[in-house]
Amino acid sequence: MDAHELLDPFERLLGDISPPARVREIEAGASPKALWEPLAESGFLDALTPESAGGAGLSLAQAAPLLQALGRHAVPVPAAETMVARALLGEAGVEAPEGPIVLATCTGPAAAPTPLALTASHALVQRGERLVLASLADETIQATGARDGLAGVVALAADAAGPTLPAPEAGLRAVAAVVRAAAIAGAADRLLEMSVSYANARTQFGKPIGRQQAIQQQLAVMAEQVVAARIAAQIGCAGGLGTSVGAAAVAKHSASLAAVQIARIAHAVHGAIGVSEEYDLQLYTRRLYDWRLADGSEAYWAEVLGARRLAAADRGSVDFLREHTAP
Amino acid sequence: MRCCGRTEWPRRNPARGRKVRGARLFDTLTLSPLPPADEALRGPVRALIAERIADLPTDRRARSWLGFDAGFSRSLGQAGYLGLTLPKRYGGAERGPFARFVVVEELLSAGAPVAAHWIADRQSAPLILNYGTEAQRQFYLPRICRGDAFFCIGMSEPGSGSDLASVRTAAERTDRGWRLNGQKIWTTNAMHSDYMIALVRTSGGPADRHAGLSQLIVDLRAPGVTVRPIVDLTGDAHFAEVFFDNVELAPDALIGSEGEGWKQVTAELAFERSGPERIYSSVVLIDAWVRHLAAGGRSDPTSTRLAGALTARLATLRAMSIAVTARLAAGESPVIEASLVKDLGTSFEQEAPGLIGDDLAAHPDEPLDPDLYRTLLYVSQIAPSFSLRGGTREILRGIIARGLGLR
């Protein structure tokens, strides 16, 4: 099955079920059911699930446009994470729960917040070489109190109970980092589109601000970062759920680096309206910050990749890239 | 170095006039694998490089595509690595842009001295193939493929940098062909070249802008041509000024159509701006620094992160450069995409020496190989040129902005 054939209906579905108004409602505490149920019924959550387990059996590379689309629509449920979790569960022959699953990649009980954890019913966590599918109850999720309220600290005990399965070779965090990179790339597309459109519409000094070289130069830099984030996400996705640490590191490092610059320029171009609640820009820039912080920032992955680079110092850069960051 | 501005639309722009659902701009740039048949060139070209320049010191390798060695270029020609994309009947290898990417990537990452054939292979040969007469193709292309004819590009003039359409060097028709007068400057490798493809005015005046410009192939040994090398801040002389004083040229000096010079020049851009030379100008320094860290057993988080950050950025840039190559292979002229990769790539190339210098100087008591120090200083000094040559950063960003639909 070709993911590009799926992209149009998926985009339409997301446009219907995850419009900005509903994103705001769910962030404000409304139940995500009205969004989750049609999404679950659509079958898209099993896009990556092996055909043997009733899924579409797409590779991560094939599904990358779908993961990006979820980012483009700032979907306030962990749909991409659930797709990955269902694929891993399906491969291991473990039955998937019906609700949303987050990938909680901290190896200990209390650590960095997981985006959208407050809307999840389950978490896939790594414990040693195994993954544990743990159901989430109020006492195992701590809200952060941050503005959108949907990220939460998944505070599962070291011996969390639940069905177990083998962890991906590069680790759950690497796979989650690739999913974040794809989400960043998707939201980045939307932000570029909004910023260009705003620059062409907003008039100051008697002409659209998009005719000012100072604005044009910033939007050009933004476009470069958007393409870099997209290609980086593709590098990560190319290796599938068995992605290498190197490819995941490149994907999340470049996407995180881009996320910061993209958010900065999107806001600079929009001026004051961009930081208002009622304007949609913030729905996407706030997501960029969440995803950049989740599953290792650019410095985290730079250190991971750097250690590998220094261990292979006798190799030139080109050989290192071909051997360690290709799928 | 040459600095040239383009203020007109490229003719073919995949991002233009196409309202993409959801407007995923530049979505033709996508991760593309290098075909195995082209990857297979890597081993042989690497062996040739190792055999020919094994003893070249690091700071010479850091010259990248400014390092001149005519003998090395000829050995590449003999081995069949020049004119890779040209038809076999002109001495080429009839392979695609991916083959060229692999060979160029190997040459640049090794710091091989490729300047002699660089312009001829990258730009002049494709231009002559596209716009030349059959006689011009037969005359120039086989020699370019052998490494026997070196070219430079005459664009910038004392009064024409980014505003390239204001060139004043002019050729007038005579009974015997053309008479050329004027001056070019910042012409890379003019003193080592056999020919210059010059953008000159053949009719009208500066007020006519893009109209009335043509491209002429100038034999640099013709009477009336004076080439004066210009020493750069590193002490090298990689560029030159070139004077034309009543230079008489045959009718077939004209390449392409009279008055179409601007359009032809614009079509060259994707070749000039898309290649791996826009991401690898500092790679010799980066690799030498990585070896230095490993040799000293240094693994502090700051240096490790820097090594990882540079590597990750290069990985993404390499994938982007291959993605542009894939558009070339598909027969497109991805001028905007190439501008985008060039701007991002040269920013990376320019930041690398600053970051590495800071890392090395953060350890003042650590032994530092003089060769690495010379390499660092050379790259630091020449780096500003990375975003000047082939179109300045500001010009490229203007092109990208128009590609986005601004203006």
The whole-angstrom separation of Cα B366 and Cα B362 is 9
pLDDT score for A132: 95
SS3 B382: helix
The whole-angstrom separation of Cα B134 and Cα B128 is 9
Q: In the annotation, is B272 catalytic?
A: yes
Chain A CB contacts of B109 below 8 Å? 316-318
Confidence of residue A109 (pLDDT cuts 50, 70, 90): low
Partner-chain residue, chosen from B105, B301, B398, that has the shortest CB–CB distance to A303 = B301
Provide the domain limits for residue B242.
Answer: 154-260
Are the C-beta atoms of residues B380 and B357 closer than 8 Å to each other? yes
Report the percentage of chain A scoring pLDDT > 70. Answer: 97
Partner-chain residue, chosen from B311, B397, B405, that has the shortest CB–CB distance to A317 = B311
Question: Maximum CA pair distance of chain B?
Answer: 73
SS3 B50: helix
What is the pLDDT averaged over residues A32-49?
A: 96
What is the pLDDT averaged over residues A18-24?
A: 96
pLDDT score for A327: 64
Report the percentage of chain B scoring pLDDT > 90. Answer: 84
Are the C-beta atoms of residues A207 and A201 closer than 8 Å to each other? no
The whole-angstrom separation of Cα A125 and Cα A110 is 12
Subunit contact A309:B308, Cβ cutoff 8 A: yes
Q: Which residues of A25-43 are buried (b: 16+ CB within 10 A; e: fewer)?
A: bbbeeeebeebbeebbeee
Active-site choice (B268, B272, B277, B337): B272
Domain presence at residue B166: yes
Subunit contact A223:B287, Cβ cutoff 8 A: no
Domain presence at residue B92: no
Interface ipTM: 0.97
Which B-chain residues 151-180 have CB contacts (< 8 A) with chain A?
Answer: none
Judged against a pLDDT cut of 70, whether residue A70 lies above it is answered with yes
Domain of B211, CATH number, reads: 2.40.110.10
Question: Given CB atoms, is B355 within the 8 Å cutoff of chain A?
Answer: no
Chain A CB contacts of B309 below 8 Å? 253, 298-299, 302, 306
Beta bridge partners of B243: B183, B226
Beta strands in B175-268 (DSSP E): 177-188, 195-201, 213-219, 225-230, 239-249, 254-255
The whole-angstrom separation of Cα B222 and Cα B216 is 13
Domain presence at residue B129: no
Chain segment A7-20, per-residue pLDDT in tens = 999 999 999 999 99
> Of B7, B24, B28, which to mutate for an interface test with A (greatest number of A Cβ within 10 Å)?
B24
Q: Which residue of A has its CA nearest to B292?
A: A313
Q: DSSP readout, A167-226?
A: PPTT-HHHHHHHHHHHHHHHHHHHHHHHHHHHHHH-EETTEEGGGSHHHHHHHHHHHHHH
Tokens (6 digits) for A317: 């850069």
Residue carrying the six token digits 């960043």: A184
Judged against a pLDDT cut of 80, whether residue B52 lies above it is answered with yes
What is the pLDDT averaged over residues B141-146?
A: 98
The amino acid sitting at B374 is R
Domains held by chain B: number? 1
Question: Given CB atoms, is A200 within the 8 Å cutoff of chain B?
Answer: yes
pLDDT score for B22: 38
How far B283 CA lies from chain A's nearest CA (Å)?
7
Subunit contact B308:A307, Cβ cutoff 8 A: yes
Question: Given CB atoms, is A257 within the 8 Å cutoff of chain B?
Answer: yes
Beta strands in B112-154 (DSSP E): 151-154
Which B-chain residues 298-317 have CB contacts (< 8 A) with chain A?
Answer: 299, 301, 303-309, 311-317
Tell me the residue length of chain A: 327
Are the C-beta atoms of residues A77 and A14 closer than 8 Å to each other? no
Subunit contact B340:A227, Cβ cutoff 8 A: yes
Domain presence at residue B174: yes
What is the pLDDT averaged over residues B181-210?
A: 94
Q: Which residue of A has its CA nearest to B295?
A: A313
pLDDT score for B13: 34
Subunit contact B407:A224, Cβ cutoff 8 A: no
Are the C-beta atoms of residues B210 and B167 closer than 8 Å to each other? no
Question: Given CB atoms, is B405 within the 8 Å cutoff of chain A?
Answer: yes
Question: Given CB atoms, is B19 within the 8 Å cutoff of chain A?
Answer: no
What is the pLDDT averaged over residues A147-156?
A: 83
Q: Which residue of A has its CA nearest to B104?
A: A318
pLDDT score for B95: 96
What is the pLDDT averaged over residues A299-310?
A: 98
The whole-angstrom separation of Cα B277 and Cα B385 is 13
What is the pLDDT averaged over residues B255-277?
A: 85
Chain B CB contacts of A308 below 8 Å? 308
pLDDT score for B268: 75
Confidence of residue B270 (pLDDT cuts 50, 70, 90): low
Judged against a pLDDT cut of 70, whether residue B266 lies above it is answered with yes
DSSP structural state of residue B37: H
The whole-angstrom separation of Cα B342 and Cα B400 is 11
Which A-chain residues 65-84 have CB contacts (< 8 A) with chain B?
Answer: 72
Domains and CATH numbers, chain A: 3-166 (1.10.540.10), 172-325 (1.20.140.10)
Average pLDDT of every residue of chain A: 94
DSSP structural state of residue B160: B
Domain presence at residue B215: yes
Burial (CB < 10 A; 0-12, 13-18, 19+), residue B357, is middle
Chain segment A154-194, per-residue pLDDT in tens = 888 777 889 999 999 999 999 999 999 999 999 999 999 99
pLDDT score for B238: 92
Domain presence at residue B14: no
Report the percentage of chain B scoring pLDDT > 70. Answer: 93
Partner-chain residue, chosen from A189, A231, A320, that has the shortest CB–CB distance to B316 = A231
Partner-chain residue, chosen from B22, B307, B400, that has the shortest CB–CB distance to A220 = B400
Chain segment B65-96, per-residue pLDDT in tens = 899 999 999 999 999 999 999 999 999 999 99
Subunit contact B401:A234, Cβ cutoff 8 A: no
Chain A CB contacts of B397 below 8 Å? 216-217, 220-221
Beta bridge partners of B154: B198
Subunit contact A200:B405, Cβ cutoff 8 A: yes
pLDDT score for B241: 97
Average pLDDT of every residue of chain B: 91
- Dihedral in degrees, nearest 10, Cα atoms B58, B64, B70, B72: 60
Q: Is the dihedral of CA A196, A200, A203, A208 positive or negative?
A: positive
Domain presence at residue B256: yes
pLDDT score for B19: 36
The whole-angstrom separation of Cα B114 and Cα B71 is 10
Confidence of residue A107 (pLDDT cuts 50, 70, 90): low
> Of A200, A305, A314, which to mutate for an interface test with B (greatest number of B Cβ within 10 Å)?
A305
Domain presence at residue B237: yes
Q: Containing H/E element for A103? A: strand A101-104
Question: Given CB atoms, is B320 within the 8 Å cutoff of chain A?
Answer: yes
Question: Given CB atoms, is A92 within the 8 Å cutoff of chain B?
Answer: no
Instruction: Give me the phi and psi of B213, to 5 degrees please.
Output: -100, 145
Chain B CB contacts of A314 below 8 Å? 291, 294
